[in-house]
Structure 1
Amino acid sequence: MSDEQVFCAKCGETKPRDAFYNQLHTTLPRRPCKACISSDKRQRYAAKDGDKVSHAQVLREKYNLTPAEYERMLTDQQGVCAICRKAETARGRGGAPRRLAVDYDHRSGRVRQLLCQRCNLVTWAVEENPSLLDAVRTYLERHTTPSDPQPHAGGE
């Protein structure tokens, strides 16, 4: 067992490493700490009449943003992803397009910009393992020849 100490920005405490879950596919600490995650889950569960957690509540609790700040970011980005400059195409359970995701630095918690689901997943993966970007580029170059036709979106 290590003596590593990790800071949880949610509760403002520095705690032993074992007070944090691991991030997916790594051994890096997931933030916030286990106690804060558990507390958040209890609060959501206790929501009156089983209401879903509102977007405003997620913005406030997870990113420390107000709905107005989110809307201002969305307007500043003209409603499109900060990376690919396209509108969100992923659909929610009801079939409506999902909102752009709030991208943030997973270590500091600092909010960056709004991203579509695809760019958010890629950014997260590369943030966790920066050499992955070069490995993907090498892989694609190895499996692409100049005579290959351009791939079609959505497959056929």
Structure 2
Amino acid sequence: MGDDQVLCRKCGETKPRKAFYDQLHSALPRRPCKACISTYKRDRYAVTDGDRVSHAQVLREKYDLTSARYETMLAEQQGRCAICGQLETARGRGGAPRRLAVDHDKRSGAVRRLLCHRCNLVTSAVEENPALLDKVRAYLQEHA
């Protein structure tokens, strides 16, 4: 097995290095391979409701949140975004309004509130780079 070949611990195949993701904070290959990770994720989020992924399953797997807790949060917010106070306007593939996104701290995983798609994108960008908000404000003022 050469330097550019890596053994996948899941499927047992030897594959080129580019078939593997890097480990977090390292240049070492993450094993299993990309294909095995993709298969695992597809199976984990198996289609359970016609052509849709189960919302309850995603809430549980991604946020450790029950459907009942999500519905309680939604009722407490009167179905509106916790930041802009508007109903969700983004549409899903079928044309129906999307559900409000679960906002969470990316480091701790702690769930905060429910946000519309637009506010969730802005919040994520600003959380990663707080100075971005000032840059956007300056840009808008410059081009007002």
| TM-score scaled by length of structure 1 | 0.65
Matches within 5 A, 1:23-34: none
Structure 2 residues not aligned, in runs of 5+: 1-21
* Compared CA separation, residues 45 and 98, structure 1 to 2 (3 A): closer
Whether the aligned pair in 2 keeps the contact of 1:44 and 1:53 (CA below 8 Å) is no
Partners of 1:84 and 1:49 in 2: CA distance: 31
Structure 1 residues not aligned, in runs of 5+: 1-17, 22-32, 145-156
The structure having more radius of gyration, on CA atoms, is 2
Alignment partner of 2:102: what SS? strand
* Compared CA separation, residues 40 and 111, structure 1 to 2 (3 A): farther
* Compared CA separation, residues 49 and 126, structure 1 to 2 (3 A): closer
Match of 1:71 in 2: 71
Partners of 1:55 and 1:88 in 2: CA distance: 16
Q: CA deviation at 1:48?
A: 7.1
Alignment partner of 1:19: what SS? coil
Whether the aligned pair in 2 keeps the contact of 1:20 and 1:34 (CA below 8 Å) is no
Match of 2:60 in 1: 60
Match of 1:116 in 2: 116
Q: CA deviation at 1:43?
A: 2.5
Aligned positions, number: 115
Whether the aligned pair in 1 keeps the contact of 2:101 and 2:114 (CA below 8 Å) is yes
Of the candidates 12, 20, 42, which is equivalent to residue 24 of structure 2? 20
Question: What is the alpha-carbon root mean square deviation over aligned residues?
Answer: 2.7
* Compared CA separation, residues 34 and 116, structure 1 to 2 (3 A): farther
Partners of 2:94 and 2:42 in 1: CA distance: 26
* Compared CA separation, residues 40 and 73, structure 1 to 2 (3 A): farther
* Compared CA separation, residues 83 and 142, structure 1 to 2 (3 A): same
Partners of 2:49 and 2:59 in 1: CA distance: 21
Deviations 1:51-93 (Å, cap 9, x if unpaired)? 6420000000000000000000000101000000000000011
Q: CA deviation at 1:40?
A: 5.1
Alignment partner of 1:102: what SS? strand
| TM-score scaled by length of structure 2 | 0.70
Match of 1:28 in 2: none
Q: CA deviation at 1:47?
A: 5.5
Match of 1:96 in 2: 96
Q: State, as a whole percentage, how many aligned pairs show the same letter.
A: 69
